[in-house]
Homo-oligomer: A and B are copies of this chain.
Amino acid sequence: MSITQDPYAQRFGCTFIEGGGVTSARGFTAAGVHAGFKADPAKLDLALVVADEPCAAAGVFTRNVFCAAPVQVCRERLNESGDASASYGTARAVVVNSGGANAATGEPGRAAAREEARIVGAAVGCPEDEVLMASTGVIGVHLPLDPFRTGVPAALEAARTLSAAEGGASAARAIMTTDTHPKECAVTFTGDGVGYDGVTFTVGGMAKGSGMIMPNMATMIAVITTDAPVAAPHLHAALKRAVDVSFNKITVDSDTSTNDSCFCLASGAAARTEAAADASAEAACGSASPVSPASPALQPFDPESPAFARFQDALMQVCTALARAMATDGEGATRLVTVNVRGAASGADADAAARTVANSPLVKTAIYGHDANWGRVAAALGRSGARFAQEDADIDILGLPVCRAGLTVPFDEDEALARFEAPEVVIDADLHAGSAAATVWTCDFSHEYVSINGDYRS
């Protein structure tokens, strides 16, 4: 399933850009290079996303008590609110390295993260405080700084010379650890009829992390860019909402590692299509740059406005597509698993119920084995803490009713086996205890998983 055809993402109604990514929005360049964090020179391991101008920036980070140095430093930087759980401020660049998590490295680790930012700031020409960072890889090992000293200038040069699409794609590859393919996408929405007539806005991004746990630990990193004009506090609110229903709804066994980071930068540089047309005409005559300096700055979106609502949808669409792509891409995973719970007494109940099913090794091995036995789903729902009566519960697997009112419903075993060929297995549960709903994504559990994570040294 291609990321642009993802049915859950498409529900938000924006238009996917084919081949879109973190450089699709106006005002951003990016590139990925091999800097030396990874041994293999064929593997890119340093990504840089640079904004033409300082941007409103927001971050959502792991809540794991063992949080890594880059997360700690980013929280300090995005501290305009004074509230460590609402990280936003101003940023100009995001630097991501793979091949080392800079976690459990104490004060030297934090110093290294700040030095990393100084190097980027000097190369880009911005204050070091406007540089955000993320790292992914082995825990407990100190992050070498020399690769930044050579890699950052190389990445900056690549960002200037590569096309926007090539640069974004190389950045998406550079943040991978055991992902089997890069994850990036972008969508557009218009300002027509909501106060920004003729303007096309773009939201795009890249992510790494796979639904299957890595040999060390799952780390999720996402960098989202937009050219919509959104002030930092509202950007954070929108990002948090999007993360809560996308990245925070993927689970295998752990909801959060030590390094999980999601950034969003807003340049506000979206252009009116007429101005863009004018600028193109001028460029054809050789008289002005394609980005017309005469475009008036766009008024930031009022958070109560329909324009903001469209932006929220676009952000949801990008995050959902990236998150589901992550859940599908598990080492050893054979398919994406979607758990929908509805009829719960509260949002927390719905989430607990869906998450308990999605976290259950019993359910996930059953799916691997193409087994539609609903008893394991029921046992997971029943211990989740969600409030409901067993005689009110209905369960469907792959669209086949298997339980009604808490009792078995006979189903066609051959039909079930045939449906198990689908790349996505959907489990639906209705608790008939209220009206809250939640969806959680995971992947199945295979022998591969044990092989990879057991690292068996027999």
Contact = CB atoms under 8 A, between A and B. Distances in A.
Contacts of A126: none
A383 B216 CA distance: 15
A380 B65 CA distance: 10
Given A390-B67, A450-B449, A256 B383 contact: yes
A401 interface: no
A138 to B, nearest CB: 8
Given A66-B390, A406-B104, A453 B369 contact: yes
Interface residues of A, number: 65
Given A406-B106, A407-B140, A449-B450, A457 B371 contact: yes
A91 to B, nearest CB: 25
Contacts of A67: 382, 390
B454 A366 contact: yes
Given A375-B139, A375-B140, A457 B256 contact: no
Contacts of A362: 213, 217, 253-254, 453
A451 interface: yes
SS class of chain A's interface: helix, strand, loop or mixed? Answer: loop
Nearest to A216: B375
A362 B255 CA distance: 13
B457 A379 contact: no
A447 B373 CA distance: 21
Nearest to A68: B390
How many subunits of this chain does the assembly comprise? 2
Interface string A134-166: 000011110000000000000000000000000
A369 B456 contact: yes
B105 A258 contact: no
Interface string A75-112: 00000000000000000000000000001111000000
Interface in A408-458: 408, 417, 445-447, 449-451, 453-457
A218 to B, nearest CB: 8
7 contacts: A140-B374, A213-B361, A253-B359, A258-B379, A366-B454, A368-B450, A370-B456
Interface of A: 63-67, 103-106, 138-141, 213, 216-217, 252-258, 359-362, 365-366, 368-371, 373-376, 378-383, 386, 388-391, 393, 403, 406-408, 417, 445-447, 449-451, 453-457
